[in-house]
């Protein structure tokens, strides 16, 4: 195979809507992943929310929503540490603790949610 035949796959930009008052409420926005494979979804989400390469990122996910979450996810320029929680107050949430920009708390719209319902949920995050 020649270099011209080689292809690299990248996940599209995350389906993410951030709240207008980020950091001033309990939620910073809503995220609608395309699938339930965090190893595929997290690199693009983290790259958008923590643009500095080589920084430390720790992600906490709802164990009931992500029962098979990996402990680490490799991404260009960084390793993402993933922790699962059973805490009731974290149900349906994902939090990203980023070294340079701080903490993001997002409501996760389940990947299999119908597009119309997901669009309404995402639109609500902007308010």
Segment 9-55, tens digit of pLDDT: 566 788 999 887 666 568 899 999 999 899 999 999 999 998 888 78
Determine, yes or no, domain membership for 5: no
Segment 62-120, tens digit of pLDDT: 999 999 999 999 888 888 999 999 887 778 999 999 988 889 999 999 999 999 999 99
Structure confidence at residue 55 (pLDDT): 83
C-alpha span between 51 and 123 (Å, rounded): 24
Question: Does pTM surpass 0.85?
Answer: no
Structure confidence at residue 59 (pLDDT): 95
Structure confidence at residue 93 (pLDDT): 93
Determine, yes or no, domain membership for 1: no
Determine, yes or no, domain membership for 3: no
Number of domains in the chain: 1
Domain extent at residue 81: 14-125
Determine, yes or no, domain membership for 102: yes
């Amino acid at each position: 195979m020649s270099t011209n035949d080689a292809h690299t796959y990248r996940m599209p930009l995350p389906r993410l809507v951030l709240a207008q008052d980020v950091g001033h409420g309990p939620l910073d926005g809503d995220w609608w992943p395309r699938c339930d494979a965090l190893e595929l979804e997290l690199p693009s989400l983290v790259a958008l929310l923590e643009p500095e390469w080589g920084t430390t990122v720790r992600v906490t996910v709802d164990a009931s929503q992500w029962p098979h979450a990996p402990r680490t996810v490799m991404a260009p320029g960084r390793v993402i540490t993933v922790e699962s929680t059973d805490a009731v107050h974290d149900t349906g949430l994902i939090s990203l603790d980023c070294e340079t920009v701080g903490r993001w708390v997002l409501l996760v719209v389940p990947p299999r949610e119908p597009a119309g319902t997901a669009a309404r949920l995402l639109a609500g995050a902007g308010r």
